[in-house]
Structure 1
Amino acid sequence: MLTLINLTGLTNQFVTPERITLVIRIVLILIIGIPLLRVLKKVMAKLTHEKLSAQAEQLIQRSVYYFGVLILIVSILNEFGFKLSALLGAAGVLGIAIGFASQTSVSNIISGIFLISEKPFTIGDIVESGSTIGIVTSIDLLSIKLITFDNKFVRIPNETMIKTEVTNYTKFPTRRLEIMLSVAYKEDLERVSAVLYDIAINEELSLKDQEPVIQVREFADSGINILFGIWTKTDDFIVIKNKLMIKIKQRFDAEGIEIPFPHLSLYAGEASKPLTIKQI
């Protein structure tokens, strides 16, 4: 009986009408707030869709969503008795401390704003930064996210993207595919050029309104280097490159055009002459 009385006393001590009311208010805030956040996210998606660039659209949607989450958290803390003024004061002191310790993050945020305003690339573009090539999947205030062609996730800080050279391979709808090849010195260059031109004009993925490029570039050690360039749609770039490499090899074999490889002949004067054999 004594234990039951003690439990009843503890229950009455902790389960008070004020605390029950507090729990109900917090539950109501969550029940109303979470669906509102989802609705707000969908509304912002509709308002910004096709009106802004993909990266600006993504940034605005996330910023509004996180701001809504912040309001929800502040509302819950307010129910526990934390005043907004006290929270702002604590946030100010904490912000100063974090500011000194996170100068790199601030630099990345500023760089992210520059990237969004300059628009050197958008979501879905294929870019190269340093030794990394991949598809842009996200442009945030702190970093850029890429997916490489072998399905690796790469995060590059915005400051790095601002400071280093970035190549955008899909900025324009067309590209020129360039293949550097070599032929033997004995080959007729005009005949080689005619074969390459025939390959170019008969390639279905090439752009017929752009002339192919065939240039003799260099007399190298093992052969004559020739630049072969052909214009194509950016979306067809990888496909046409593979097709052309195969066609060039097949046509050169059929035409008897030699593709040289590095080789070396040694001559050591008289000592390298063949031995003389006398018949007795």
Structure 2
Amino acid sequence: MELDLETIQTIKEKAVEFLFDFGPNILGALIVFFIGKYIISLLLKAVDKIFVKYEIDASLATFLKSFSKAILYVLLFITIATQIGIELTSFIAILGAAGLAVGLALQGSLANFAGGVLILIFKPFKVGDTLEAQGTLGSVESIDILYTKIRNFDNKLVTIPNGALANNLTTNHSEKPTRRVDISVGVAYGTDLKKTRQVILSTLKRDERIHADPEPVVKFTNFGDSSLDLTVRCWTDTGDLWPVYWDNMEALKEAFEANDIEIPFPQRDVNHFYPEGKKE
């Protein structure tokens, strides 16, 4: 359907009228947005410097920065709305009327926000801790207002809602200064266990990272299918846990070989029965 000249002229007049009525407000709103965004970035940088200067806890710092950023952008949004021409009282009334619906729609987000507050108050973990939660094990990278970011040891970033962390089981591997190292070894049947125990303890004693108190222990724990199973337990600083485990696994292998202690492999006895009357 083609437009006649009169209709086109009417559209042009309406467009010009709209530009004169709302154009300055829209232009002003755009200017306010970009200036406000720039000011917010400056304020957040200043907040970062304050946190560093006063050595604010990293967990609290990331949370407060996320919260401050959200508040500042809400204020910027209100300022832009008033610049366009929406009266503040009317805007607040509309915002209040929509608040209930928004609150119902964002129940999960509100629960995550509350979870973040609980995490900061009770401190079950902090930034930098090694945390095991929701099937994830890694280092806590940040605690934001709604989510906590955990970086796995294979460098994958996992984002977990704060509500899930606050209301479910979490294991903090970094909270205590010392950790117990558990090593399982097996020796062949017929091996002298007293000699084996002495070899293991003397090997552990050479590692200065292993604590003398509580002292290492070696216990016989199981009659395996092909081996006598021993459990070795010792204590070390939390940061040395895995290096101590890996280094002593190799050291124990070398000590067993040097002392003729056999490390067994799975064995099976196979008996062949001939049918009746068949000669061997």
Whether these two folds match at TM > 0.5 is yes
Whether contact under 8 Å (1:180, 1:228) holds in the other structure is yes
Q: Are the counterparts in 1 of residues 67 and 145 from structure 2 also a CA contact under 8 Å?
A: no
Contact 1:55 1:138 in 2 (8 A): yes
CA distance in 2, matches of 1:131, 1:267: 46
Q: Which residue of 2 aligns with 1:88?
A: 92
Counterpart among 44, 49, 63 of residue 47 in structure 2: 44
| Residues in 2 aligned to 1:182 and 1:162: alpha-carbon distance in whole angstroms | 41
Whether contact under 8 Å (2:25, 2:85) holds in the other structure is no
Partner of 2:259: 255
Structure 1 pair 241/59, CA: closer, same or farther in 2 (3 Å)? same
What SS does the corresponding residue of 2:79 show, helix, strand or coil? helix
Greater Cα shift, 63-72 or 105-114: 105-114
8 Å contact from structure 1 (residues 108, 159) kept in 2: yes
Q: What is the CA distance between 1:229 and its match in structure 2?
A: 2.2
* Percentage identity across paired residues of the two chains: 29
CA pair 28-56 structure 1, distance change in 2 beyond 3 A: same
In structure 1, C-alpha distance between the alignment counterparts of 2:204 and 2:255, rounded to whole Å: 12
Q: Which residue of 1 aligns with 2:4?
A: none
Alignment partner of 1:218 is 2:241: no
Q: How many residues align?
A: 269
Structure 1's 147 and 24: CA in aligned 2 closer, same or farther, altered over 3 A? same
For residue 61 of structure 1, the aligned residue among 65, 69, 82 is 65
User: Unpaired runs of 5+ in structure 1?
Assistant: 1-5
Counterpart-to-counterpart distance in 2, 1:31 and 1:100: 32
Letter aligned with residue 42 of structure 2 = V
- TM-score, normalisation: structure 2: 0.81
| Distance in 1 separating the partners of 2:42 and 2:34 | 13
Please tell me whether the aligned partners of residues 40 and 65 of structure 1 are also in contact (alpha carbons under 8 angstroms). Answer: no
- Cα 1:10–1:95 change in 2 (3 A) is closer
5+ residue gaps in structure 2? 1-8
- Contact 1:185 1:223 (8 Å CA) reproduced: yes
Displacement of 1:30 in angstroms is 4.0
TM-score, normalised on structure 1? 0.81
**Which residue of structure 2 lines up, in the alignment, with residue 29 of structure 1?**
32
Cross-structure match for 1:241:
245
Q: C-alpha distance in 2, partners of 1:26/1:141?
A: 28
Show the counterpart of 1:173. 177
Name whichever of 48-57 and 138-147 sits farther off. Answer: 48-57
2:3 alignment counterpart = none
